[in-house]
A = this chain, B = another copy of it.
Amino acid sequence: MSILKKISAQLEAMAPADRQIGRFIIDNPDQMLRLSSAALAVETGRSQSSVVKFSQKLGYAGYQELKLAVSEAKAQEWQAPAGMIHGTIEVGDGYLTILQKLLGSKMQAMQQTISVNNEANIEKALEALHDARRIHLAGVGASSLVARDFSYKLMKLGRNVLHDSDSHVQMANASTLGPDDLLFALSYSGASIETLRIAELASQRQATVVAVTGLQDNPLARVADICLHTVGDEDRVRSSAITARDAQLMLTDLLFILLVQRQPDANDYVHNSETAVSVLKAKRLS
């Protein structure tokens, strides 16, 4: 969640000094980035320590971290390609409007998901995946399909993958994990009980836990060693896990491609897979 949006949401409930400082930042993010805490204090008629405290109340170590977050929020502001429509799909919308809003929401979710995950963190997850003796995938509902899709891709590369749609089997599999293994857990809410319990068990057993989860603070993120974040906008597309699923796929597809890049024999594996499947395709008739 963009810090600018977060400040906006909390503005009314803030005390006077905080509200004034928050208002200034929302209205003038570019300018704020160029100001010292003392200069911002002058601009708002408040004290320098109030500026630092404002930052800390938002959860940052101090003003410098807040500035970084504002900078990232600005970078994340999505620039729509020409012609794209933003907005919530509504009852009276016609076909073309629905279509464009759906497409716009999907694109936004994917792009923002990329924006909120920095390269270092992706590389960290990639490294862990690459080095894992076994990769166990966990997820329920829509996330279970993303997990399965990713499991097919990993298996295609010859990786040792554990995946089952039954959460009891997932749990039992997790009980066999060890320090050389990795749990890849998907849950947009981060609160799905099955996925959470599996992650807790994997963590207890010293497996590396990689979570693919929403940006909000959540129990799964707290258990994970490595957190990859997804941004979805379910309210706009009548829920049903459309953009959250697309966001997760964006990350798993990226990890797959990056793994292919760093696995010298990947092309062989992919080619072998296609050859093997071709016997299950109808022959072309001229």
Contact = CB atoms under 8 A, between A and B. Distances in A.
A213 to B, nearest CB: 12
Given A81-B111, A148-B145, A245-B149, A98 B280 contact: no
A257 B270 CA distance: 35
Given A260-B238, A270-B240, A68 B111 contact: no
Contacts of A99: 114, 254
A17 interface: no
B282 A219 contact: yes
Interface stretch (A1-9, A30-38, A201-209): A30-38
Nearest to A237: B257
A282 B270 CA distance: 39
Interface in A112-163: 114-115, 118-120, 122-123, 140-142, 145, 148-149, 152-153, 156
A142 to B, nearest CB: 7
B239 A118 contact: no
A258 interface: yes
A190 to B, nearest CB: 8
